[in-house]
Amino acid sequence: MRLLLNLTLAALVTCCNGIDGNDDRGFPDADGDAGRDESEEPFKLTFENGAQTCAQFMIRRTAAEELALRGRLVFRPQTLSLPRDADSFQADLIDAVNLTGPDPFAAQPDGPGEITHEYQQQVWGYIHYYTYTQAFHAGDRPFRVEATFSFRYRDGIADPEELVFDADQVGEEPQGYNADYTQVSILGFLDAGEDYLTEKQAYRSCTFNTLPSYRITATLDGGDSIVLYKRYLKPLMGSGPAAVVRTEIDLDGEQRVVEDYFHTAYAADLHNFNERYLVVLDPPVGAIHGVHFEETNDNDPPTAVDLLDADLAPAGQRNVTTYIDEEAP
Q: Tell me: the pLDDT tens digits for 151-171?
A: 999 888 888 899 999 999 999
Q: Are 79 and 45 in contact (CB under 8 A)?
A: yes
Q: Tell me: the pLDDT tens digits for 93-142?
A: 999 999 999 999 999 999 999 999 999 999 999 999 999 999 999 989 99
Query: What pLDDT does 156 receive?
Result: 83
DSSP state of 25: T
Please indicate, yes or no, whether residues 159 and 189 belong to a single structural domain of this protein.
yes
Please indicate, yes or no, whether residues 101 and 249 belong to a single structural domain of this protein.
no
Question: Is 148 domain-assigned?
Answer: yes
Query: What pLDDT does 321 receive?
Result: 98
* Average per-residue pLDDT for the chain: 90
- Structural domain span for residue 260: 213-327
Question: Is 14 domain-assigned?
Answer: no
Question: Is 272 domain-assigned?
Answer: yes
Query: What pLDDT does 237 receive?
Result: 87
Mean pLDDT in residue range 69-98? 97
Query: What pLDDT does 36 receive?
Result: 67
Q: Are 145 and 186 in contact (CB under 8 A)?
A: yes
Please provide the distance, in angstroms rounded to a whole number, between the alpha carbons at the two ends of the chain: 77
- Report the alpha-carbon distance of residue 212 to residue 329 in Å, rounded: 10
Which of 259, 241, 262 has the alpha carbon at shortest distance from 312?
262
Burial of residue 117, with CB atoms counted within 10 A of its CB: 0-12 exposed, 13-18 middle, 19 or more buried: middle
Confidence tier at 181 by pLDDT (50, 70, 90): confident
DSSP state of 5: H
Domain termination site, one of 146, 180, 204 = 204
Query: What pLDDT does 304 receive?
Result: 98
Domain termination site, one of 204, 228, 247 = 204
More confident residue, 191 or 10: 191
Q: Tell me: the pLDDT tens digits for 237-290?
A: 899 999 999 999 999 999 999 999 999 999 999 999 999 999 999 999 999 999
Please indicate, yes or no, whether residues 260 and 237 belong to a single structural domain of this protein.
yes
